[in-house]
């Protein structure tokens, strides 16, 4: 019931991706798994891409009974030609896969820098390139790039990750400008630290880099600039991704949806 004096408005339409094909990278765990399950819950046929075969099997088992389906697709995103081919025919593309190494620039292995940029920037470019012909042909598509607060702010000792995420922001905006006449939106989702295995592994690296005990890393390093002193849960990021795929976000493109607990408010 509408309260007296309140303005009545249309209800928010629920997300219905029945008949749509979605591709999610890094789907075996963390944010990717949450996104794959959320899109399958909305009825999508989800291509779950990861190099972790066992993790994908567990995801497929977890998705049983959802309105949509999850199809495991074992793929190493450093195989760029295979990545582009895998994206053909997709209606929704979620570029999520990532990796991290915390080291000072003068100690950062060049081969690791190259791998991070390949997986987190060049592979998304190739996946978008592979998905766009189908999206353009039908006049509808959704590209969601899981960026980071580090796509907007830098942190010490994360040269490759920060460079990749800043590049992803620019790629996403370019895709938005080119895709607009064809009914395709492109946006970034920018979480701060999420409760994922990637973040758990950072605790030891950050402890070594900053010279402090592991137990102090979470409060004194990871959450130092966040007004909300907690990690984000993967399902919260998945809901932001789902919003950008839904009808209420049809006019949202070329932007970054920030979920950083107030980090960038400083």
Known catalytic residues are: 161
Which residues, at least 6 apart from 130, have a Cβ–Cβ distance to it below 8 Å? 83, 84, 85, 86, 87, 88, 90
Which residues, at least 6 apart from 215, have a Cβ–Cβ distance to it below 8 Å? none
Q: How far is the C-alpha of 238 from the C-alpha of 258, rounded, in Å?
A: 13
Tell me the Ramachandran region of residue 25: left when phi exceeds 0, alpha when psi lies from -120 to 50, beta otherwise. Answer: beta
Tell me the Ramachandran region of residue 154: left when phi exceeds 0, alpha when psi lies from -120 to 50, beta otherwise. Answer: beta
Check if the beta carbon of residue 89 is closer than 8 Å to that of residue 147: no
Q: How far is the C-alpha of 4 from the C-alpha of 7, rounded, in Å?
A: 9
User: Which tokens in the block code for residue 186?
Assistant: 């492109």
């Amino acid at each position: 019931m509408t309260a007296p004096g309140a303005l009545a408005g249309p209800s928010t339409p629920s997300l219905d991706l029945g008949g749509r094909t979605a591709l999610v990278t890094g789907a075996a765990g963390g944010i990717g798994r949450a996104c794959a399950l959320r899109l399958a819950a909305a009825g999508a046929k989800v291509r779950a891409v990861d190099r972790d075969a066992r993790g994908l099997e567990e995801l497929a088992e977890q998705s049983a009974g959802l309105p949509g389906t999850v199809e495991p697709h074992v793929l190493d995103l450093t195989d760029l030609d295979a990545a582009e081919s895998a994206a053909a025919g997709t209606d929704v593309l979620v570029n999520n896969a990532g990796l991290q190494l915390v080291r000072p620039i003068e100690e950062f292995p060049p081969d690791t820098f190259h791998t991070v940029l390949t997986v987190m920037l060049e592979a998304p470019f190739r996946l978008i390139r592979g998905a766009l012909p189908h999206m353009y042909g039908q006049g509808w598509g959704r590209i969601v790039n899981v960026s980071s607060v580090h796509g907007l702010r830098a942190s010490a000792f994360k040269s490759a990750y920060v460079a990749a995420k800043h590049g992803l922001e620019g790629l996403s905006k370019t895709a938005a400008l080119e895709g607009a006449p064809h009914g395709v939106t492109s946006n970034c989702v920018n979480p701060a630290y999420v409760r994922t295995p990637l973040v758990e592994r950072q605790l030891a690296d950050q402890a070594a880099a900053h010279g402090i005990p592991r137990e102090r890393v979470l409060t004194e390093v990871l959450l130092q600039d966040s007004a909300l002193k907690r990690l984000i849960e993967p399902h919260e990021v998945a809901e932001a991704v789902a919003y950008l795929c839904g009808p209420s976000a049809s006019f949202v493109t070329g932007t970054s949806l920030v979920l950083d607990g107030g980090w960038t408010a400083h």
